Amino acid sequence: MQNENVELYKKAIKGSDYYYLVIHQQNFPPSVVCEPKSIFRATNKQPKLLNIIMFKTSIRTAAPRTFSPLRFTHNSQYFKRLQSSYSKIKKISNIEEYNKQLGSTNLSVFDFYATWCGPCKAMAPHLSKMVETYSEPKKVNFFKIDIDENPEIARAANITAVPTFVLNKNNQNVDTIVGADPNKLQKSIDSNA
**Would 97 be classed as within a structural domain?**
yes
- Give percent above pLDDT 90 in the chain: 37
Max intra-chain CA distance, the chain: 57
Residue 12 domain flag: no
pTM: 0.60
Give the bridge partners for 166, in sequence order. Answer: 110, 176
| Residue-wise burial string across 24-42, b where 16 or more C-beta atoms lie within 10 A, e elsewhere | beeebeeebbbbbebbbee
Does residue 121 fall inside a structural domain? yes
**151 vs 42, higher pLDDT:** 151
Predicted pLDDT at 164: 96
Tell me whether residue 122 is in a domain: yes
Specify burial of residue 2 (Cβ count, 10 A radius: 0-12, 13-18, 19+): exposed
Confidence label for 49 from pLDDT (cuts 50, 70 and 90): very low
Q: Look at residue 19 and tell me whether its pLDDT is greater than 70.
A: no
* 128 part of a folded domain: yes
Q: What is the CATH number of the domain that holds 148?
A: 3.40.30.10
Number of domains in the chain: 1
Question: Do the domain assignments include residue 182?
Answer: yes
- Compare 192 and 73 and report the one with higher pLDDT: 192
Sheet holding 140-146, edge to edge: 90-91, 140-146, 107-113, 164-169, 172-178
The confidence score (pLDDT) of residue 46 equals 54
Mean pLDDT check: name the lowest of 6-15, 37-46, 84-93, 124-133.
Answer: 6-15
Reported as a single tens digit per residue, the pLDDT across 68-101 is: 333 444 444 333 333 333 567 899 999 999 999 9
Catalytic residues: 117, 120
Q: How far apart are CA 67 and CA 148, in angstroms?
A: 11
Residue 82 lies in a domain: no
Answer yes or no: is pLDDT of 52 > 50.
no
- Domain that includes residue 131, residue range: 90-192
52 within a domain of the structure (yes/no): no
